[in-house]
Every structure is written in structure tokens, then in C-alpha cells.
Structure 1
Amino acid sequence: MTPISPGLGLDFGTSHTVAVLARDDGRVEPLLFDASPLLPSAVFAEEGGRLLVGRDADRGARVDPSRYEPNLKRRLDDGALLLGDAEVRVVDACAAVLRRVRGEAARTLGGTVPGRTVLTCPAGWGPRRRELLATAAGAAGLSGVELVSEPVAAAAYFTQILGHLVRHGGTIVVYDFGGGTFDVSVVRRTGDDAWAVVAAGGLDDVGGVDLDAAVVDWAQRTVRPDDPAWQRLRAPGTPADRRHRRHLWDDARAAKEHLSRATSAGLAVPILDVDAHLTRAEYETIARPWLDRTVRLTRDTIAASQVPADRLAGIFLVGGASRTPLVATMLHRALGLAPIAIEQPELVVAHGCLTMLPAAARPSSPAPSHRSSAPPSSPAAPRPSSPPASSRKPVPAQRAAGGSQSAGRLGERPGSLRAGRDHETHVVLSPAQAAKGGRLTLSMEWPALCPPCSGTGVAGGAGRGPRCAACAGSGLTGRLDRRSVQVRLPAGVTDGQRVRLAGGAHPSPDDGGPAGDLLVTVRVR
């Protein structure tokens, strides 16, 4: 994994803002706002003119929603907001949200403000919007501000943090399904740390909030649809009814999120005092029209890029709404390529943009190193050596950690033997198989390592040095072999769960070194 220079990565999203902090000692961590990495991108104007942001703004909206704006990013072109009787410039409202991020970063660092900040924005933004965001960042007191497009930051995370191999000239698809909008980009690698957006598209009226609305609509159709109480929930006229409406929408969002890992969820309907139960099958039925639009746009954007779907290096799911299991299923069926999902897709852009900071500590060699996300005082547990693939025994699965715990392309620890390349695949299980677990035989396409460099991408297989001429530094031959591997999965795995099979992937380039891990994404159908 490429070393990250100290700084602040900031993803100013339509519904939420996410910030990731890189410390001087190499640790990378998301900032927490009220114990959550997600800060609502919302503002509320108090009667005295003071702006509340985040969850404070959400709470203010329960009293007077006319003073509340939940989606600042959608209002950038408006110039000013009318919040109650107060007119607030959009740039000032954005600065208020970013100022909260700056304050939390300074508190985390003991009063020091990060010297450099990377802000992300959609690929399709023009100079005016980019300038407005940069101006808001300056007004918030953020230092050394640089702007990076969101799909480029996601591509950097895909390769530099997760360790997926993308050759120079290779392309990936970034499917970004956020809380308020949907964006899709085809991104091509043009250098070791350089990317270009080949084609991009977006839907400003499709996001996680629209799936929340679909759940609320389902509840109204299902639970006493003719009851007058629904009018109070749809158009509340009193502070009490506004609180009831907020509770209904909060519960709808929670039910949607719960259905990404369970087959049913409860939904409490206030005022009517009824508990409804929504199954995953029912949810997928009401969500499908929205997801169909994202899949169609993804196919059209890939077609516009003139990159054949079978030549894509991967489809990367970004944004909280991409957790919906049906998303990966529909994309797989439409494109013939299984998307790559992680446990915290909201953090991808903010974390990935940090890798774009120039750092003197970066090695000149193209071969990245594996680094544990644990602090230096907590050394990673040793990984077991692996026998040749032909004689491997089934390896036990450990629950995969999310985000930065995903392994790099080739592990290297100072003073120790290097680990082999990790490999990712997926498996489709029946509900009975998922509940029981046990031994399975996976048949998968297996990339062949470059013999001259033993898969390291460095001439002669060394830890540092010139790029291998045979594979142009990729470490692979480009040939895919078919391989069967026996694995043992734990009982009770769930749809979308990612498990790590220690020592189940490529052998180490060093004699006696540990093999890489096999990472398996489980789909339950």
C-alpha cells in the first residue's frame, strides 16, 4: 500500500460529509462526529442568525423545518438560501459544515490544524462549482486545499488501499450510489499515480433518500392507507407532528439499512401506533425501479467509454446506498462481472483522495508494500506459511475487516519475508448452505504470476528496483488459469459478508514466506 502523507481527506457529500485524517505517525482514521463517521451535510439557521450544522441542524428542523436545508450540495447553483427569515449565502452555509470538520480535526490532533486538505467533487463539476467549494474551504480555515474528482479518489483507493491490480491503460468502473445522488464513471489508469475519467454520468434525483421515500410509500400503502393520520405525517403542521414525521423517516432509513444484512425489518409508524414488517423481497420490489435506472446509466456510460465490459479491471461500489444487495446482483447480471463491495463504502472517497497527496516518503519503486492499519504499537499477527497450491488443506475463514483492512497486492514487512498476492472472488450459496457453512470447492479464474519477477512487478523479484520488463510492472502475465480451491466457511455467513481465508492465495516470492490471502464475498440466493 502506498504510504500516505499527513493531511485531511474530505468528501463533501449530498447527504453526508466524511473526513479521514492521516497522522504524522502513519495512522489513518475517520473523524467521528457524535460517534459517527457521517456528518449530515445540513444547516439550520437559528433566529439570531447562528448556523447549526450536522445533527444539531437535524434536531433544529424538528422545531422549524423552514429554517433547515438538508442537502447543501444540491443548492450550490442557487447563490443564496432562504432559511426562515434569514438569507444565507450558499458558500457560507458550506463553510459552516467544513468548519465543523476542521474543528474536529484540530480537536483530534490536540489543537493542531492539518497542514494539507484534499477535497473531492464530482467529475462533471465545472470551474464555478469547484471555485465555490474551494472558497468555502478557505473560509472554514482549512489549509493547503487541493481538489480531486471523486471517481479518481475512488480509483486510488481501489488500487493503493485495497491493492487491486490495474495495469497502465486499464480501466475500472466507479459506481457511486450516495445518499442524495448517483454517479458512475469509467476511469483509466494513465500512470503509477495518475488517472483520467474517460466517461461519466449521473442522476441527481436518485439516491439513498429516494429509497427511504419508497419505504415510507410502502408503509402508507400497507398500513391503513385511508387513515387521516397519514396527512399529519406527510404535511405536519405542529411541532409534535414534525417529530413524528422525523421518527418515521429515521425508522424507514434504519429498516432499509437493516435489510442489507437481514431478510426482514420492523418499521414503527407513529401516530397510528402500528409496527409494520418489511421483507427483503418486498423491499427489492419497491427499490428495483430506482436501481434499474442506475444500472442502465452504468451500461450507457461504459458504452460511451468504448471499453468492452469484458475488458474492465473491476466494478467498484462506493456510497452507502450501494450496500443494498440487489445492486451487486443486478450489476453482475447486466455486465457479467461481479462488483467489489466493502463494509464501509462511505469512507472510500475521503480515504482514497489522501493517496493523491505528494509525499517525500513514497518509494520510487512501483511495487507497493503491505501495511497493517493497526498502530505501530500493535504489531499484526503473523500469517501462516502456505504449502504449494496442489497440497493445500482447506483453510479456515476469519471474518474480514472492512476498508483499510483489505490486503494489498503484495505484502512486504521490513526485516521479514514478503507475503504473496491476495486474490478476491465470490461464491453464491443457498440459505441452507450459508446457515450450515463447512467445506466448499471454489472454481475460479486465477491470474498467472509473471515468472521473471515472481509476481512482484520488480526486475528479478527484488523488494526494490527497476520495473520488470516482462510484465511492465504488473506482476502478472495477463493469462487466466482455471483453479479449484477447497475452503472452509463459517456457519451463519450472511449475504454480502466478506471473509478472509488466510494463506489461500498466491505463494510468497520468498522461500518460506507466507502466501497471500483469499478474500471471498458471499452471496446468498
Structure 2
Amino acid sequence: MDNMINIGIDLGTTNSAIARFADGKVQVLNNPADPGSNTLPSVVAFREDAIITGRKAKELLEKDAKSVVGAFKRKMGTSESYWINSISNFKTPVELSTYILRELRSFMPPGISVDAAVITIPASFDTIQSNATKEAGSQAGFAQVTLLQEPVAASLAYANMHKEQELAEGNWLVYDLGGGTFDIALVRIKDGEMKVLDHEGDNFLGGTDFDNLIVEKILIPAISAKYSFNNLETQMKSASGKYNAQYYILLQKAEEAKILLSSKSSVEVVIDGMTDENNAPVDFEVTVTRAAFNELITPQIDATIGMVKNILSRNKLQAKDILFTLMVGGSTYIPFVRQRTEELLQIPINCEIDPVTAVAAGAAHYAATRPKLTGNINVSKSSSRLSIKTTYAKTSKEKEELFLAKITGDTTHCSYRITRADGGFDTGLKQLTERISEYLPLVENTFNYFQLTVHDRESNTVEMHSEMIGINSAFGISGQPLPEDICLEVDDEEKPGETKLLLIFQKNSILPSRKSVTRTLNKSIQEGSEDKIRINVLEGPHYALPEANKSLGYLEISARQIFRDIAKGSDIELTFSISESRDLTVTAYLNMADQEFKQTFTPKERHTTVSALKLDVDTLARKLENEIFDTAEQENHEVRKELSVIKKEMDVLETETKDLVDDDVTDKRYQLEDKKRKLAQAIDNATRDKHIAVLRNKYFKMKGWCLEILDQHGSENERTRFYNATSDEASFMYSQSSVRLKEQTEVLRSIMGSIIWRTPICLKDLFRHLVDKSPGMSNQGEAQVLISGGRIAIEARDWSRLAEINQDLLDLLPKSVRQDVIGKVGF
């Protein structure tokens, strides 16, 4: 199985691990630099002449804290970097992750190829964070990196640990609380197939936050109470603060205390190595009790349970519908986490798998089903040239699995044979044709290897260089779910100059996926001009404002790139393709120019400044206040009450944001940005019914007007369009999609507009307006002739002639005057 990836890596916030699939089994590899351990602390230390990773790097923290970095996974995909004192330079989260991945590669036995790997990411990682992870893998020397969501990996580890027994069909939860992130996933086994139905998470909630709470709420107050300091917490958290180095040392001590509290009722934390403002040396012990620690982390644990309840509610499930909650991630070792989760959810917890190495093990199971990418090497010994393309399930719980192959080349006088490695199956020699179809019998609970050989007329083996066929008689996964909606920004016809979102791929769609849409250009593009079409793809809820979502990238088509003028109203065909590792490719085809433009979006950084965050929070707070006033005026007490609860959270967010210093070194800005996004969503959810009621009212008004004008002036074609637009009214009228309501209202507006355009009253009104504008027309002689003709047409009630004259007069106006609404996108 050398042609499969076979290597799985858990690139964790606190600890990382690597596992290998070999001989039908998964082996989590030991750390050669730390005997007895099969994990690598995700910490990197720098000296002038060396880069040190893992446990030895952590040991250097107290000597030179500003040259040691950990928990950088939480800043993957951001523009932030870390200043390293010992080398007087910055290092990015991608570079730091690269060092960890390189060290993990050294765990492999000599002679084993490590050119490809499956690397896990939190399910809630967005596309930019995912791309940053792939970039780290590439810099670490992996020619091929496939990403796998951590809850999926944990599910595979658990299911394949039990592959020798039938797992009960039903639903379970994967509760993954690691060092820096939290994921909850709903998994279902049905008909022997495992599928992730839904998930939710928080990229800034984990054991690192628990460490920080110990520092913020216990250690810093204890130091400040005993010694003389001026605003110690700010001085620690600011990059330029006097005690910034001590902050990282305290975090490590807090982590050690947290780990000990899983087995002890209290621990003593020694605080030393610093002096206060009066030059008094700080040297004392702080007692941290398990009870105090549990109280500190209760809001965070309750927040994770809130996410679990959201998933159950979304999927209309109750506690009795869930078999168990599978506990994964180092922070689930904390007794209180297990106790609180089981107590509040009333669902049994399952702690059967190693929470620290399960994700790496599951990644290795997945890696055994993923082929390495290779070039065209399928060449025969004889003068004929053959190549093969195979299709089959890499994992299966069936008794036999269908194998399909397509052969390209001259198959005359050739035969083929498929044998199972254990000798238990042999097709015998069969005539080779362009297509092979065979059912391969599987031995249960093991990896089944089959070899396909091709022979020429002299019975010589033709070297197809085809892969060994490997089918694991175990549980696989039916694809990874998409964490967020992927949308396209389009012009909003209802609001000139503004845009809205068009849903392309919906959250929880199974990857990979592909979709095509056709849009009509709302402006002309003149060859060689400054005109352009902008294709902006965003990640986030499709019902949100475009500015509220995360941009994945732009594909701009400039008029300088096209070979001819493109008329308004012509079509642009857009095809979106997204891989299982979230590589997003957009192809745009301009029909009129017969030109295609293509781009793959792989953004790896997102900029989040404290000043921009403060402005966004301030804007959102004002919006919330306006919504509260509106609901009060409308006496909508239920929504007002809901918004009042959100207002309390908003007040806390405003305070926390205002307290941030510009050079804050913690993850606080990213946590607050996440809170801001969730509050915006909560405001939208609370007020959606109000806004949808307004949109429904607009729809019914437009429908009434359309019916009225249809009766008087509508054609048969327009009646058919009206019927088609309203036939599915029940489905969109009572949905929660404002986008769908707007689109259907716009369809009716378009039908009505096309009718009104040719009604006598509209044609006469437009003619009068054009007469008023005639002094600004480019050809005064022609304009006067047309105006005379228009007056004659009105007297003769020749409305079709008047419509022609109106169009000719429009063409004489300057472009700036006659230009229809031009959106910023172009379609």
C-alpha cells in the first residue's frame, strides 16, 4: 500500500502526534526525544544557533520566555506573527507549525517515505485557516497534504477500534475539547455507513483558555494583593509591557496546575523570578483548589453544552435519541468536564478511546484510503501503451465490493487477472476490454489487498504500474461536511449600488462538491476600457450581509483581458468546485466573448486589527439599539425581551473591546471578533421574523399589482411566467430565507416591469421625460425628428412605434445620463 498516503497527523494546539497505517493496523509513533511519550508538545524555542521543539522547548520558557512560542495554532490564518528575542526576528504561525511538522516526520522509522500526510484541523476552521495549515505542511516537506476534520478522525478511530463487532446503528456525539479549540459533531451510523450530519465549534475555546483564567482570576490578583504593581495584568498582556515575559511563565505554571488538579484537590503554584515596582522580589506560593478551578471554567463548559443543544435542536433530536457522547481532546481529562457534560445533557459519556492520540489514529485510518498523487506512469513492456483508471470504495463493511476499471490503449489479445493477497480469491484469466467490472469478496475486520495483472498474447506481464487494490473491511466516512455556507456576492437589483449573497454550497454539504450557475450581466463591458466584472466568493451565512462574512478571494475580469465588447444582458457561466481539503476553484465563461477565466482561491491570512474590531463592535451596538427602539415602538414585547438579553452580552463585549491595547499578545481580539459575529447572528435571528414579515408584505403587494396589470395588458408568455413564479409559493413564503423572498418578489417585479414598459401611460410618461432631456442629446437634428415622430405616434395611438422612438431617444443621451443601474459586481 505504498501508493496510499498512510500517514496521519494531529497538529494540535498543545500537543501533536503522528500515526502510521501499516499491515492493516494503525500505530501511533513514539517520540524518540521523549521516551515513553507518543506526543510532541506544540512548542518551539529559538537560540542563536538552534531551533528546539517539544518538551525541551518548554523547559527553556523560564530562561528566555520571549524566545519560546506555543499555542500558535489559534492564530493560523491570521496576519499576526511572534517576535523572537534570540534571533531578533518575527515568526509566523505557519512557520512555527512547519517546525512541529518537521519534528513529527523524524518520528518515522528509517527508510519509510513521508512525502504525503493527512493533517487534521478543527471542524470549525474556516477556509483561510485550512489553507494556512496546508501551507505549513507544504513547507515541512509534504508534497501532498489532505486535510481531515478532527471530529471525523475521532469517529474513525472509535469505529475502527470496534470493527470486529457490529456497532449499533444510531446517533452519537463527538465532544472534542482540546488545548485551543472545541468541536461538537453529530455522527450517525446507518446501513454500515458512518456520516457526520452536523457540527459546530469555537476556534478559541480550550485548555489554553482555562490556563489563562487561572492566571487572570487567581494568580495575578494574588500577586497584586501581596506586592506593589501598577496595572499588572495590562503590563503582562501587552507586547511592550514590563512584565510580558512573566505572563508566559505564569501560563505554563497554570497549565501544570490544571493537569495536577485532575488527580488532586488542590495544588501550590510557586510565583518567583520577578520584582515589584518597589524592587521587592516576588517569591511566594498560591493555592489553587479544584473547586475554585471548576467554578472558573463553568461558563466555558456550559457554552460548549449550549452548542451541543443547538445541534440537537437543529436536527430535531432529544437526549434519548443519542447513544453516547464520545469524549476527545486533552481537556476532557478534566473530571468536571465529563461530570458537567453528562449531568446537563443527560447523555452517557464514552471515554473508551485515548483522547490525546485518537485524532492522529483516525487520521491514519483515513490516510490508508487516500491515494498518493502520481503522474502518468502506466506503460507496458510491449510496443502497446496502456493506462488504467480505477474506482472502488477504500473502506467497506459489505461482504463484497464492486471494483471498476477503465483501460485506455490497445487491449487486443490482452487478458487480466485479479487475485487477493491471501490467496482466497482469484478471477482467473479473463479477456481484457476497455472496462473491467468485478465484485471482490472481503475478509471481515482486516485490510484486503488485491493485485490486478495484465498479460499480452504471449502471457508476458504488461507493466501497468497499477496500484495495489486495498479495501479496509472497516468503517469509513461518507465525506467531510462543509463548515460554513459558501456564497457569491451579486448585485442587489432592489437596492442600487448594494449587493447581496447568492448561496453556492450550503453548510454541511459533503465535500468534494461542484456547482454551476448562470448570471446575466447588468452592464456592458467595452474592450480595453476600465470596466471590470468582480467575482467575490465569501464564507459565512448566506442570509447575512456580504460585509459580515469572510471573503475567500476575488476573480476580476478586466475589459483589457477580453477580445471583444460584451453587451449588457449577455450570460456569464460560473462554475465552483471545492475539494475535500477546501481548495476552491472558480471558472467564469463569457458566452459572448467565448473566453474562460479560472482561479483557485487559497488565501492564507486574515487581518484583524484592534482598531477595526472596536469600530465594528461600535457599529453593531448602534444597530442593536435601533432594533430595540423599533420593537418598542411596534410593541413587539417578545422580540424586545430577546434583544434586551443580547444587549447585556453586547455591553460586556463593548467593555472588553475598549480595554484591549493595540499590541495585545493574547488571543483576545480573535475571541472578541468571534463573539461579535455570533452576536450579529443572534440579532439577525431575533429580528428575522420582523424583517421577513415586511418582505412577505412586499411580495403580496407586488403579486397584487402584477395580477392587476396582467389582466389588462399581459401576454400569454407573461401569464405563464407569473404562474411559474407563484406555483411554489408555499415553500418560500413560510421559509426563513429572506433571500428567497426577495428573489421571488424581484421575479414578479420583472414581469410587471416588462408589461408596464409597453403600456400607453408608461410610454407617454417616458416620452415626455426624454423630451425634457433632449437639449443634452448628442445629435439635435435627429432628436427633433424623433420627437416629432413621437408626437404623431401618440396621436395615432401607435404604441409600438412610440416604444421604438423612446429607445432611439435614449441612445442619444450621454452614457452618464442613460446608464441603467450599474452594480459594483456586474451581475
Provide the residue aligned with 2:207 in structure 1.
208
| Equivalent residue for 1:328, pick from 322, 338, 342 | 338
Residue 177 of structure 1 pairs with residue 180 of structure 2: no
Q: SS at 1:355's partner residue?
A: helix
Q: CA deviation at 1:278?
A: 3.0
Provide the residue aligned with 1:298 in structure 2.
308
Matches within 5 A, 1:311-390: 311-342=321-352, 344-358=354-368
CA distance in 1 between counterparts of 2:150 and 2:44 reads: 23
Between the aligned residues of both structures, percent identity stands at 22
Contact 1:248 1:270 in 2 (8 A): no
Q: CA deviation at 1:190?
A: 5.7
Provide the residue aligned with 1:310 in structure 2.
320
Q: CA deviation at 1:365?
A: 5.1
Structure-1-length-normalised TM-score: 0.59
Q: CA deviation at 1:140?
A: 1.4
Q: CA deviation at 1:320?
A: 0.8
| Equivalent residue for 2:99, pick from 96, 100, 114 | 96
Contact 1:244 1:270 in 2 (8 A): no
CA distance in 2 between counterparts of 1:224 and 1:74 reads: 29
CA distance in 1 between counterparts of 2:73 and 2:121 reads: 10
Contact 2:117 2:145 in 1 (8 A): yes
Provide the residue aligned with 1:263 in structure 2.
265
Contact 1:233 1:244 in 2 (8 A): no
| Equivalent residue for 1:273, pick from 262, 283, 303 | 283
Q: SS at 2:287's partner residue?
A: strand
Contact 1:7 1:115 in 2 (8 A): no
CA distance in 1 between counterparts of 2:9 and 2:128 reads: 19
Contact 2:184 2:308 in 1 (8 A): yes
Q: CA deviation at 1:155?
A: 1.0
Contact 1:220 1:230 in 2 (8 A): no
**Closer, same or farther: CA 337–90 of 1 in aligned 2, 3 Å:** closer
Contact 2:65 2:245 in 1 (8 A): no
CA distance in 2 between counterparts of 1:92 and 1:215 reads: 29
Q: SS at 2:263's partner residue?
A: coil
Q: CA deviation at 1:178?
A: 0.9
Provide the residue aligned with 1:427 in structure 2.
none
**Closer, same or farther: CA 81–283 of 1 in aligned 2, 3 Å:** closer
Contact 1:178 1:208 in 2 (8 A): yes
Contact 1:161 1:352 in 2 (8 A): no
Residue 251 of structure 1 pairs with residue 250 of structure 2: no
Q: SS at 1:314's partner residue?
A: strand
Q: Deviations over 1:297-353 (max 9, x none)?
A: 221222223332211122011111111111122222222112112473111111122
**Closer, same or farther: CA 282–229 of 1 in aligned 2, 3 Å:** same
Matches within 5 A, 1:354-433: 354-358=364-368
**Closer, same or farther: CA 55–235 of 1 in aligned 2, 3 Å:** farther
What is the identity, as a one-letter code, of the residue corresponding to 2:96? A
Matches within 5 A, 1:221-232: 221-222=221-222, 225-228=225-228
Q: SS at 1:77's partner residue?
A: coil
Contact 2:118 2:364 in 1 (8 A): yes
Q: CA deviation at 1:87?
A: 4.2
**Closer, same or farther: CA 95–191 of 1 in aligned 2, 3 Å:** farther
CA distance in 2 between counterparts of 1:151 and 1:306 reads: 21
Provide the residue aligned with 1:289 in structure 2.
299
Q: Deviations over 1:83-140 (max 9, x none)?
A: 34534454333222211111222xxx12433465221112233444333322322331
CA distance in 2 between counterparts of 1:223 and 1:63 reads: 21
Matches within 5 A, 1:131-170: 131-142=131-142, 144-162=144-162, 166-167=167-168, 170=170
Q: CA deviation at 1:208?
A: 0.7
**Closer, same or farther: CA 228–14 of 1 in aligned 2, 3 Å:** same
Provide the residue aligned with 1:8 in structure 2.
7
CA distance in 1 between counterparts of 2:107 and 2:230 reads: 40
What is the identity, as a one-letter code, of the residue corresponding to 1:300? N
Q: SS at 1:31's partner residue?
A: coil
Contact 2:124 2:203 in 1 (8 A): no
CA distance in 2 between counterparts of 1:219 and 1:125 reads: 32
**Closer, same or farther: CA 88–245 of 1 in aligned 2, 3 Å:** closer
Q: SS at 2:17's partner residue?
A: strand
Structure number with greater Rg is 2
CA distance in 1 between counterparts of 2:328 and 2:343 reads: 19
CA distance in 2 between counterparts of 1:82 and 1:357 reads: 32
**Closer, same or farther: CA 52–330 of 1 in aligned 2, 3 Å:** same
What is the identity, as a one-letter code, of the residue corresponding to 2:42? S
Q: CA deviation at 1:13?
A: 1.7
What is the identity, as a one-letter code, of the residue corresponding to 1:346? V
What is the identity, as a one-letter code, of the residue corresponding to 1:21? R
Provide the residue aligned with 2:81 in structure 1.
81
Contact 1:234 1:245 in 2 (8 A): no
Q: CA deviation at 1:222?
A: 5.0
**Closer, same or farther: CA 303–81 of 1 in aligned 2, 3 Å:** same
Q: SS at 1:110's partner residue?
A: coil
What is the identity, as a one-letter code, of the residue corresponding to 1:102? R
Provide the residue aligned with 2:54 in structure 1.
54
CA distance in 2 between counterparts of 1:126 and 1:56 reads: 32
Q: SS at 1:172's partner residue?
A: strand
Q: SS at 2:10's partner residue?
A: strand
CA distance in 2 between counterparts of 1:33 and 1:220 reads: 37
Residue 17 of structure 1 pairs with residue 8 of structure 2: no
Q: How many residues align?
A: 364
CA distance in 2 between counterparts of 1:159 and 1:261 reads: 29
Between Structure 1 and Structure 2, the one with more helix by share is 2
Larger deviation, residues 132-141 vs 348-357: 132-141
Structure-2-length-normalised TM-score: 0.39
Q: SS at 2:347's partner residue?
A: coil
Contact 1:21 1:30 in 2 (8 A): yes
**Any unmatched runs of 5+ in structure 1?**
368-461, 465-472, 475-525
Contact 1:193 1:356 in 2 (8 A): no
CA distance in 2 between counterparts of 1:243 and 1:76 reads: 22
Q: SS at 1:125's partner residue?
A: coil
CA distance in 2 between counterparts of 1:210 and 1:82 reads: 19
Pick 1 or 2: higher relative contact order, CA cutoff 8 A, min separation 6.
1
CA distance in 2 between counterparts of 1:33 and 1:199 reads: 38
What is the identity, as a one-letter code, of the residue corresponding to 1:213? N
Provide the residue aligned with 1:421 in structure 2.
none
Q: SS at 1:291's partner residue?
A: helix
What is the identity, as a one-letter code, of the residue corresponding to 1:142? F
**Closer, same or farther: CA 345–232 of 1 in aligned 2, 3 Å:** same
Q: SS at 2:255's partner residue?
A: helix
Residue 40 of structure 1 pairs with residue 41 of structure 2: yes
**Any unmatched runs of 5+ in structure 2?**
274-281, 370-391, 400-442, 446-473, 476-827
